[in-house]
């Protein structure tokens, strides 16, 4: 089930809200149980067998948390076993294919497993690992109530596409959150705007990118750039739209989930971009991989190793494809270049120039991310810069003119205009205007859904 489906919008969410709010707030555990039950049903809508996957992940982390909370060597072994079990569980579903393919390439006959990748498995596996590590670090205590831990792991807004929530970010609100009309209204407004990002913008830019890349290779340079720009906007509005909906739904039920995006396309360096894009993942790798490896405190050689290790793992986290590995290495090399080679020179340039250089690097990087293979990415990037490209045939101009309203809206939505509007006028006036705008976006999204089928979210496959 996805947030932009009719099943979710007109059956699941209204039913959940009705059942949840009919229970008085003083019966907190009953409300928590309702959220857990509905969250499991939400996930099972993608396939009943997925319930078993989710339950195994839960058992690994529930038992592992109790083991990691023991004092002394028993706790250390408990943490190690729980982390290893999480990684093995993730690898069996996500990376068995690439390992089998590599073995076959070396002449070892090994069957390549085929099966459906459980939606969001990377997200809830990383949440489980953070829970285990934080217990051992003393940041949280092991949760002995299985219903409370299940609510943390299964809570449907962040279950399939994040943000990656740490247990301490939900722990207090599992027992002591306060739902209110104001928070409910703010959450629904944010949900509506996120739905608009997905249905009105991401789906349209996905259609443009599909048309641009659908033709025979090679493409013209203009068409390659149109496709690259469309995909750059598609993935942002798809993922940030999901995050807005997730955070909005969290507010509806009294939770404050961590922000995941902060206008990344206004960044003036690659380092800044990764402080603004998928912030929960960046923080996870920083706190659980980069800093434990030594960060930047152990000399330049170790720093280079740490950066490349983190970005190799970041690429692999997104999927078992060599193009993802290259995408991760691309950003590792860019960050090293900013630190050791061109960073000081770049800082002397005007902000507009620094932004243009950064966006060029980001757009090129998305071609590695989108491609099915490294050669496909290299071919598309070469076409963008006039290498082996076809003559211009007018398709690029057509896609720009045919979709000019979406291009305009998309570029404006990448800028923090909403932040400026949120500070204009009186609070009551702002709230009323935001509600009207949210209703208009909801109506337009509904009409768009009526005209075509809904698409799943890109990050649900990770």
Q: Which residues are catalytic?
A: 318
Tokens of 239: 């993922």
Task: Considering only the C-alpha atoms of the chain, give the largest distance between any 2 of them, rounded to a whole number of Å.
Answer: 70
Q: What's the residue count for the chain? A: 462
CA-to-CA distance for 150 and 218, rounded, in angstroms?
50
In angstroms, the first-to-last Cα distance of the chain is 15
Tokens of 344: 């000081």
Contacts of 109 (CB under 8 A, 6+ apart): none
**Of the candidates 118, 176, 26, the residue with the CA atom closest to the CA atom of residue 460:** 118
| Burial environment of residue 363 by CB neighbours within 10 A (0 to 12, 13 to 18, 19 or more) | middle
Helix (H, G, I), strand (E, B) or coil at 390: strand
CA-to-CA distance for 341 and 361, rounded, in angstroms?
15
Helix (H, G, I), strand (E, B) or coil at 47: coil
Tokens of 425: 């006028």
CA-to-CA distance for 58 and 3, rounded, in angstroms?
23
**Of the candidates 295, 289, 292, the residue with the CA atom closest to the CA atom of residue 310:** 289
Helix (H, G, I), strand (E, B) or coil at 380: helix
Cβ-contact 293, 306 below 8 angstroms? yes
CA dihedral 206, 230, 279, 37 (to 10 degrees): -10
């Amino acid at each position: 089930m996805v947030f932009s489906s009719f099943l979710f919008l007109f059956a699941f969410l209204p039913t959940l809200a009705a059942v949840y709010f009919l229970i008085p707030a003083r019966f907190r555990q009953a409300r928590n149980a309702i959220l857990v039950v509905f969250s499991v049903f939400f996930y099972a809508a993608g396939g009943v067998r997925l319930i078993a996957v989710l339950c195994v992940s839960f058992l690994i982390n529930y038992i592992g948390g109790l083991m990691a909370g023991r004092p002394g060597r028993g706790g250390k072994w408990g943490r190690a076993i729980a982390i290893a079990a999480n990684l093995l569980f993730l690898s069996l579903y996500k990376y068995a294919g690439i390992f089998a393919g590599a073995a076959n390439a070396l002449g070892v006959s090994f069957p390549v497993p085929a099966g459906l990748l459980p939606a969001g498995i990377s997200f809830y596996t990383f949440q489980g690992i953070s829970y285990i590590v934080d217990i051992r670090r003393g940041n949280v205590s092991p949760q002995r109530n299985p219903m409370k831990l299940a609510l943390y792991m299964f809570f449907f807004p962040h279950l399939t596409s994040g943000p990656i929530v740490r247990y301490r970010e939900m722990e207090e609100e599992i027992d002591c959150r306060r739902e209110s009309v104001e928070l409910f209204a703010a959450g629904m407004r944010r949900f509506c705007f996120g739905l608009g990002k997905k249905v009105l913008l991401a789906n349209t830019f996905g259609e443009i990118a599909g048309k641009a890349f659908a033709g025979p290779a090679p493409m013209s340079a203009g068409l390659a750039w149109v496709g690259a720009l469309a995909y750059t906007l598609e993935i942002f509005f798809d993922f940030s739209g999901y995050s807005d909906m997730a955070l909005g739904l969290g507010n509806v039920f009294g939770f404050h989930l961590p922000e995941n995006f902060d206008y990344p396309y206004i960044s003036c360096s690659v380092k800044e971009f990764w402080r603004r894009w998928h912030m929960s993942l960046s923080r996870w790798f920083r706190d659980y991989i980069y800093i434990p490896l030594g960060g930047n405190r152990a000399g330049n050689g170790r720093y280079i190793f740490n950066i490349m290790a983190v970005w190799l793992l970041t690429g692999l986290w997104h999927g078992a494809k060599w193009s993802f590995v290259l995408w991760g290495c691309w950003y590792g090399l860019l960050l090293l270049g900013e630190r050791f080679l061109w960073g000081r020179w770049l800082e002397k340039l005007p902000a507009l120039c620094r932004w243009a250089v950064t966006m060029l690097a980001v757009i090129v990087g998305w071609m590695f991310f989108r491609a099915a293979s490294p050669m496909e990415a290299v071919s598309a990037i070469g076409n963008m810069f006039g290498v082996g490209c076809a003559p211009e045939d007018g398709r690029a101009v057509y896609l720009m003119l045919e979709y000019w309203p979406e291009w305009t809206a998309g570029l404006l939505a990448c800028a923090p205009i909403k932040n400026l509007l949120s500070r204009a006028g009186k609070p009551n006036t702002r709230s009323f205007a935001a509600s009207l705008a949210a209703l208009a976006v909801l109506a337009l999204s509904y009409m768009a859904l009526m005209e075509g089928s809904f698409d799943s979210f890109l990050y649900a496959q990770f």
